[in-house]
Amino acid sequence: MQNEEKKISVFQSVLLLVIVMAMILWSVSVNINIVLPLLFGWGVVYIFTIINKKDFTVIFNAGLDSLRKAAGAMILIMVVGVLVSAFISAGTLQSFIYYGLRLIHPSYFLIGSFIILSLMTMAIGTTFGSVASVGIAIMGIGRVLGIPDGLTAATILSGAQFGNRLTPIADTPILTSTLTGGDMFKHIKYQLWTAVPSAIIPLIIYYFLGMQYGGNDFDSPIVSEVLSVLEANTNISVITLLPFVVLIGLMAAKVQAIPSVLGGIVTAALIAYFYQGEDLVSILRPMLSGHQVETGNYIVNQLLNQGGLYSMTSSVFTIIVAVIFGGMIEKLGVINSILSPIVPKLKTRTSLTAMVILTEYFVNMAASASHLGHIITAEFFVPIFKERNEAPEMLSRAMADGMSGSMFFPWHNMTIFFTGVLGVTWGQYMPYMYMIYLIPIFNILSAKTGIGWLEKEQEDTVIIKGEEALNETV
């Protein structure tokens, strides 16, 4: 038992991460799925358990425990694959694209995408739900308009991230406020100081980028042909939008994500059968393997030949391997070993805030889990913020802004979910994710200048830690 308590050194912790991250970056550069270097990362962890005389079974079981906590996200990914197929069978996706092309001018499409996803996420309280519903349809519209997939995806994900920060029903403000003992509504109020300027600048950029696709070079005959093909192959009607309405309505009513998605699937199947005239086999088979249709139009084929449970298996496999790896290195003590010597040496408010954000980045990079990042960050920094008489809402804000760093890492479970659902790669959208580059800068500026910084009140609220806080958000 004493051997199991031996702590891994800082040098070994850094070396372990450098080896694994180097393998991941190489695999990304040569377009190899990151599941392989993460799997080899298990072997690297095994070597370090031997060096430190730890029981690998204990370490691996910790990884399996982490996997249990991520099971909901993996199931949701698979169910979303079925949802996309059902939406296509019902004509829901086709109708959304059809009406979107009729109503949205390309010049304002990117800004509209950001705003729609922001409002949708604020209304239903989940980035997963908004991206997996409206986001999929907006991706289809963007493809018809000739807008690069990465650019469209960036506006979708940025809008969802923005909305997630400013709604009291999302897990990010709830969990960060609970962990730090702050007031959630004060947290959201002061989150505006970093979120709004970080959104305004990208919106201006998106406006000028959108103008490139709304000028004289915009090929309207392509859009006209797509509209004609959609009409010829599907009964376009507002009736087919009912599954989407049911899905959003259930989420807005705070029904859990998986039952909400299942409600959308059932509604879509009924419309496919009774309104589109599909037989039961034609509805159910694509729910597994996806649609394979030939419309005579390449763009429409690309829009419709997607979905199905099997299409999400690669994302699920990657999450399984990544989450187990993250759980193992956390149990091995890698994260604690690196952070423990650094945190107590932070002397200024600015350095403290920057380190909170960097800690969130680091844990998300290493462990591929946002909730774990919040829990570890809170455990390190809550006592320090109390000791220095800083408001807990400033800690929770920095934690929430640091959570956006999860998008920097292609192996993170959120990134895997979003790339799988939207059908894009990490490298396609990252150059356009201006907001997540800006938001930590504005947070650190707030700490440095005092603008938008909340001074601590006399009374402190009760602090809840770890699993107890996590359970309150589920």
Q: Helices 56-90 and 257-274, interaxial angle, to 10°?
A: 30
Quote the pLDDT of residue 249.
86
Quote the pLDDT of residue 214.
62
- Compare 281 and 457 and report the one with higher pLDDT: 281
Residues 6+ apart with CB under 8 A from 308: 81, 82, 84, 85, 286, 287, 288, 289, 290, 291
Instruction: Say whether pLDDT at 76 is over 90.
Output: no
Quote the pLDDT of residue 220.
64
- Buried b / exposed e over 368-401, threshold 16 CB at 10 Å, is bbbbbbbbbbbebbbebbbeeebbbbbbbbbbbb
Q: Average pLDDT for residues 188-209, to the nearest whole number? A: 94
Quote the pLDDT of residue 3.
44
Task: Say which amino acid occupies 184.
Answer: M
Give me the DSSP letters along 303-370.
HHS---GGGGHHHHHHHHHHHHHHHHHHHHTHHHHHHTTTGGG--SHHHHHHHHHHHHHHHHHHH--H
- Compare 217 and 125 and report the one with higher pLDDT: 125
The model's pLDDT over 401-430, given as tens digits with 9 standing for 90+, comes to 998 888 898 888 788 889 988 989 999 999
Q: Average pLDDT for residues 286-306, to the nearest whole number? A: 84
Report phi then psi at 374, rounded to 5: -65, -45
- Buried b / exposed e over 131-148, threshold 16 CB at 10 Å, is bbbbbbbbbbbbbbbebb
Quote the pLDDT of residue 27.
84
CA 333, CA 444: separation in Å to the nearest integer? 28
Quote the pLDDT of residue 461.
41
Mean pLDDT highest for which of 223-227, 355-359, 384-388? 355-359
Mean pLDDT highest for which of 225-239, 305-319, 439-453? 439-453
From the list 389, 397, 395, 398, the residue with the least C-alpha distance to 457 is 389
The model's pLDDT over 331-347, given as tens digits with 9 standing for 90+, comes to 898 888 888 888 777 88
Specify burial of residue 29 (Cβ count, 10 A radius: 0-12, 13-18, 19+): exposed
CA 276, CA 133: separation in Å to the nearest integer? 21
Vertex 130 angle, CA 124 and 131, to 5°: 160
Quote the pLDDT of residue 144.
83
Instruction: Say whether pLDDT at 274 is over 80.
Output: yes
The model's pLDDT over 238-271, given as tens digits with 9 standing for 90+, comes to 999 999 889 888 877 878 878 888 999 999 999 9
From the list 392, 405, 403, 336, the residue with the least C-alpha distance to 178 is 392
Report phi then psi at 168, rounded to 5: -75, 0
Question: Residue 24 has which token pair?
Answer: 């991941």
CA 268, CA 254: separation in Å to the nearest integer? 20
Instruction: Say whether pLDDT at 462 is over 50.
Output: no
The model's pLDDT over 79-124, given as tens digits with 9 standing for 90+, comes to 888 988 998 999 988 888 888 778 777 788 899 899 988 987 886 6
Quote the pLDDT of residue 431.
95
CA 96, CA 304: separation in Å to the nearest integer? 13
Q: Mean pLDDT lowest for which of 177-181, 212-216, 348-352?
A: 212-216
The percentage of residues in the chain with a pLDDT greater than 90, rounded to a whole number, is: 36
Q: How far is CA 302 from CA 77, 106, 144, 312, in A?
A: 21, 20, 10, 17
